[in-house]
Amino acid sequence: MIERIPILKLGPFLLLSIQVDMHDQLALDLQEDLTEQIVRHKAKGVLIDISALEIVDSFIGRMLSHIAQVSRILDAKVIVVGMQPAVAITLVELGLSLEGIATALNMEKGMRRLEAMVAADESLEESEGGEDTDASTPPGD
Amino acid sequence: MIERIPILKLGPFLLLSIQVDMHDQLALDLQEDLTEQIVRHKAKGVLIDISALEIVDSFIGRMLSHIAQVSRILDAKVIVVGMQPAVAITLVELGLSLEGIATALNMEKGMRRLEAMVAADESLEESEGGEDTDASTPPGD
């Protein structure tokens, strides 16, 4: 079995595809690796593909929320792509709303959405005339 | 366990990240899915990330070769990225040379290499004066 979920860098974004059953250590390692890489590469966004997952339980839901929160603090956008219809239905039935997590149908749409989110942020920063202080960061939620 | 390895479309390329132990059915399904998607999306290249693999045995080696051969017939380039150093050493020791498979250190380098390969091909086609059919198609589609 794999020990780490690979994180691929693509321009200003990081890409990861979750294909295996997550367990505690794998999830912890993923969060650690991702935070480290966001900082190292100054990543502006993270794209998480979950098209291989047939089940998203509350453990994975919490992990995604956690990743989204940490990324937001590091000023990187997060988008989850490729969710299967059955997964969406189950999430709603379970009352897991993936709050604060942006989603897109597939990777291409997700990439475009990420680019738009980053561009909107940058134009906002410019119009406010200062990027050295993040007090001007708009509330992402 | 997952039943299909997800294939992500990104512009003219397809991207897949192999993270799980391959077995016969998974490998067959992957080859079938990939061929189908190359044709459906008119993909010009396939990028295969194997950074999660700590072992590449002869089974995976043959699968990669097979994918490369089929893709070539469908006029799509294949590049394997993210190979771990230990994997490279093992491959050489086993006498598995991954013949005919281009490699790159990471996804970004692989993507650039794919773009260069596709561009080289297109300029060749143009200089040959467009063989009568789709060789003269503008790169727009």
State the pLDDT confidence band at A55, using cuts at 50, 70 and 90.
confident
Q: Indicate the residue of B6, B9, B52 with minimum beta-carbon distance to A4.
A: B52
DSSP string, B20-82: S---HHHHHHHHHHHHHHHHHHT-SEEEEE-TT-S---HHHHHHHHHHHHHHHHTT-EEEEE-
pLDDT of residue B13: 96
Q: Is the pLDDT of residue A50 over 70?
A: yes
If you measure CA to CA, which chain A residue comes closest to B17? A17
∠ CA B44-B95-B88, rounded to 5°: 60
Provide, as residue numbers in chain B, all residues whose Cβ is less than 8 Å from the Cβ of A19: 2, 5-6, 17, 19-20
**B95: DSSP letter:** T
Residues from chain A that touch B108, judged by Cβ atoms under 8 A, are 9-11
Q: How far apart, in Å, are the Cα atoms of A136 and each of A68, A100, A107?
A: 20, 19, 30
Question: What's the pTM?
Answer: 0.82
Residue B1 confidence (pLDDT) above 80: no
Task: Convert the pLDDT of each residue in B65-117 to its tens digit.
Answer: 899 999 999 999 999 999 999 999 988 888 887 877 899 999 999 999 999 99
Distance CA B35, CA B28 (A): 11
Between A70 and B99, residue with greater pLDDT = A70
| Residue A82 Cα, gap to closest chain B Cα (Å) | 9
| Mean pLDDT lowest among A13-17, A39-43, A116-120 | A116-120
Say if the Cβ atoms of B9 and A107 lie within 8 Å.
yes
Among the partner residues A2, A52, A108, nearest to B52 by beta-carbon distance: A2
Determine, for residues A10 and B107 on separate chains, whether the beta-carbon distance falls below 8 Å: yes
Kindly identify which residue of chain A lies nearest to residue B13, measuring between CA atoms: A108
Domain ranges of chain B: 25-100
Per mean pLDDT, which range of A46-55, A102-111, A126-135, B102-111 is the poorest? A126-135
DSSP H helical ranges for chain A: 24-41, 58-73, 85-94, 107-127
Domain A25-100 CATH (choose: 3.40.140.10, 3.30.750.24, 3.90.1150.10, 3.10.310.10): 3.30.750.24
Amino acid identity of residue B11, one-letter, is G
Per-residue pLDDT tens over the stretch A115-141: 999 999 888 888 876 545 555 445 544
Q: CB within 8 A of A35, min separation 6: which ones?
A: A70, A71, A74
pLDDT at A57 over 90: no
Decide if A22 contacts B2 (C-beta within 8 A).
no
pLDDT value, residue B135: 47
